[in-house]
Homo-oligomer: A and B are copies of this chain.
């Protein structure tokens, strides 16, 4: 999985067992038992759904913010981080119609998305995948994958609650919250 493109296949197989699925906004995803994370952008067979995404360049992060994050952010795959969350999000047309500085102002100057995330490091590992420009049929704009130790689950819930209360989240028109544990 050295490539930038990944697929999250929900079905009966996979290294992660689903413990809870909830639709935070908009349509839910079909209930599945497992999620398999694989490399490659090609659509795959799955009993349930397949979400694809690509890691990409930073869209909002400034140089000094990236340096702060780099100093504290943990890698994926820590043995103690046996819990995970997959949170696919689609933002509204109104969000995408904003100019770059307008989106940055909502995301950070007014919603403190980056600063809030920083406060939960190094407990929560995170990787963002973009899917908006991947193809016409993609149901989400982003897929974020998080990993944390069971003891940090309450902190992770607090992080999500903070973010979901922001002005940025008024632009979220679909969000599903899939919680997993290493199978």
Contact = CB atoms under 8 A, between A and B. Distances in A.
Interface of A: 3-5, 40-41, 54, 56-63, 65-66, 96-104, 130, 132-136
Oligomer copy total: 2
Contacts of A134: 133-135
Given A41-B136, A66-B99, 17 more contacts: A4-B136, A5-B135, A56-B133, A57-B96, A57-B97, A57-B103, A58-B99, A58-B100, A60-B100, A61-B99, A61-B100, A62-B101, A63-B98, A63-B99, A63-B102, A130-B133, A133-B134
Contacts of A102: 62-63
A103 B65 CA distance: 14
Contacts of A97: 57
A101 B59 CA distance: 9
Contacts of A57: 96-98, 103, 132
A5 B39 CA distance: 24
A156 B4 CA distance: 36
25 contacts: A3-B136, A5-B135, A5-B136, A41-B136, A54-B133, A56-B132, A56-B133, A57-B96, A57-B97, A57-B98, A58-B100, A59-B59, A59-B100, A62-B100, A62-B101, A62-B102, A63-B99, A63-B102, A65-B99, A66-B99, A100-B104, A130-B133, A133-B133, A133-B134, A134-B134
